[in-house]
Structure 1
């Protein structure tokens, strides 16, 4: 079983290159049965993509581009998504298990009520995205991702890992962040420092948090 480790999180990957696994190419992710499995889909340029009450199981999505995506109760299990642009996606009330999302754009996306278990986001752009009531129930890692002016609200990111991410003006609202690993990131421009109780940082980041807190409190520093 293929895994990758970031900080204290070890992610079990979808592992779609097993010799005994055959993925069939499909022309659509929408199935009348509600489930698409053992599939490969990609190189699609769409105006919009709407999926509701659907399951994608054991498959690979590559090079999919859509201006607008609307996902409701879209559950993914053992799925890899790479090199795709989901536009201003709205993704609600869904569960992702053993999912690897790599080099994808979800800029301005609204992610609401997602449950994440064994999920790796790698090299993704979440600038201006909103995360609301997103819960990590198993290992979750964001590595090399951009969260410029993104916002987290009422999320449970306990034990999640952010590694080498861009967190410029990222807003951490009220939520649960116990053991959230923020080591190795520049924290000097984050917002909502007071909400980040019991996170993990390294000693050098104390100055970053102090700078962010001064900005949060709108404190003016003046020489005597």
Structure 2
């Protein structure tokens, strides 16, 4: 059993042996199990209720796919391109996703459990009603200019990520570990962030958020009169 620990979050990872996997090039009509998927292009495909289990997917072009239902279980996904994809009602469980691109991707009603995202790009991505049903960690990921709404991501780890200009609306990120992450122009209601873990050098960004949330009027000191 493989695990990795990010902050206080321990993620259960897939344990695949490439010698046990069969080479796959075509998108199957039925569930895909124990496949080695390398360098394929399924760009723009429409996929429904397809489950991929125990597979290693490397260098795949999955950009602009429309995927509804099904999901990934016990998979390793490396350097895949899902830019512009739309995933709805998909489950991602016990998966490692590294070096992959989710630029402009829409994740809707997606369920995450024991998932590690490492060095991935989620710039301009939209997450709606995404939920963490178990351990979830993002490390060294870029999530700039994204929009997250109605997500349930309590206790996730977002370590050493770039969260600049990321906007949260009605999300539960309470107890999340944000240490080492860049929070420039990060926007979220304060009650979405209850109990998050930060480092001392991140406090100015939190102060800025509080000032904006409370519409505090910060003014220069009034000039003092001089005695004659």
Following superposition, the deviation at residue 148 of structure 1 comes to 0.8
What is the SS of the residue equivalent to 2:15? coil
The answer to whether the aligner puts 1:39 opposite 2:6 as a matched pair is: no
Determine the structure 2 residue equivalent to 1:98. 94
How far did residue 116 of structure 1 move? 0.7
User: Offset at 1:49?
Assistant: 2.4
Q: What's the CA shift for 1:163?
A: 0.7
Aligned residues: 220
| Whole-angstrom distance in 1 between the partners of 2:213 and 2:106 | 24
- Partners of 1:38 and 1:57 within 8 A in 2: yes
Bigger fraction of residues in strand:
1
Task: Tell me if the contact between 1:188 and 1:210 (Cα under 8 Å) persists in the aligned partners.
Answer: no
Residue matched to 1:211: 208
Is the contact between residue 25 and residue 41 of structure 1 (CA under 8 Å) also seen in structure 2?
yes
Name the counterpart of 1:11.
Answer: 11
**Which residue pairs with 2:56 in the alignment?**
60
**Residue pairs, 1:44-123, within 5 angstroms:** 44-123=40-119
Q: TM-score, length-normalised on structure 1?
A: 0.91
DSSP 3-state at the match of 2:198: coil
Range with bigger deviation, 213-222 or 179-188:
213-222
Match of 1:171 in 2: 167
Counterpart pick for 2:23 among 2, 22, 25: 25
Q: Residue 196 of structure 2 corresponds to which residue in structure 1? A: 199
Q: 1:57 to 1:134 in 2, by over 3 A?
A: same
Unaligned runs of 5+ in 1: none
Partner of residue 180, structure 2: 184
1:75-127 per-position Cα deviation (integer Å, ceiling 9, x unaligned): 11101111111120100111111111111111011101111110001111000
Aligned to 2:76, the other structure's residue is in SS state strand
Query: Is the contact between residue 120 and residue 140 of structure 1 (CA under 8 Å) also seen in structure 2?
Result: yes
Q: Give the structure with higher Rg (CA).
A: 2
Contact 2:27 2:42 in 1 (8 A): no
Counterpart CA distance in 1 for 2:215 and 2:144 is 20
Q: Distance in 2 between matches of 1:125 and 1:199?
A: 22
Cα distance 1:190–1:76, how it changes in 2: closer, same or farther (>3 A)?
same
1:51/1:74 contact within 8 Å kept: no
- Seen in structure 2, the aligned counterparts of structure 1 residues 155 and 47 have a Cα distance that, compared at 3 Å, is closer
